[in-house]
């Protein structure tokens, strides 16, 4: 998790270069998580991110939308509060996934939390434990 926070504090640098491309920022966020990999979904060419071969983030073909797993109630809360930024995505929305528009101003701290929560719901427990600070 500290890697993700450091990425956000840096203003979204990818390989030391500041980027304003939301897909590149999202890619860096996802790949900062333990054992996360980028692998296209089905016949699509857009980025999708997996852990243990399970999807936790997908990007639309036109690169304007990302979808990720949402904790119970999160999808409804975000869509009701900010429908210009969040929506119920087709195909996976009924499973609680959240859609976030990347072609509008986004709060990257909030997106990082959504991505991290999606990862936590998908990754094996041994990897999730790596995100938590060691207990004393």
Distance (Å, whole) CA 65 – CA 100: 6
- Any domain includes 25: yes
CA separation for the pair 122, 53 (Å, rounded)? 10
By residue count, the chain amounts to 136
Does residue 26 lie within any of the structural domains? yes
Phi, psi of 126, deg, nearest 5 = -65, -35
Which three-class secondary structure state does DSSP give residue 125? helix
Is 135 contained in some domain?
no
Q: How many domains does the chain have?
A: 1
pLDDT given for residue 14 in this prediction:
45
- Would you say residue 68 has pLDDT above 60? yes
Q: Which helix (H) or strand (E) holds 100?
A: strand 98-101
What is the value of pTM for the model shown? 0.85
Between 28 and 14, residue with greater pLDDT: 28
- Residue 62 resides in a domain: yes
Asked if residue 136 is part of any domain, the answer here is no
Q: Is position 115 within any domain?
A: yes
Q: pLDDT tens across 37-50, in order?
A: 999 888 778 999 99
Residue reference for tokens 């071969």: 53
Domain carrying residue 67: 2-130
CATH number of the structural domain spanning residue 107: 3.90.1150.30
């Amino acid at each position: 998790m500290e890697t993700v926070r450091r990425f956000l504090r840096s203003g979204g640098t990818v390989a030391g270069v500041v980027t304003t491309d939301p897909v590149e920022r999202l890619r860096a966020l996802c790949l900062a998580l333990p054992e996360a990999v980028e692998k296209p979904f089905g016949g699509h060419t857009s980025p999708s991110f997996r852990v243990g071969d399970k999807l936790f983030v997908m990007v639309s073909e036109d690169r304007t939308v990302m979808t990720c797993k949402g904790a119970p109630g999160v999808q409804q809360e975000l869509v009701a509060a900010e429908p210009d930024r969040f929506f119920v995505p087709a195909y996976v929305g009924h499973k609680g996934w959240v859609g976030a528009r990347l072609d509008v101003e986004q709060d990257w701290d909030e997106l990082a939390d959504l991505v991290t929560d999606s990862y936590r719901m998908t990754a094996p427990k041994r990897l999730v434990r790596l995100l938590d600070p060691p207990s004393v």
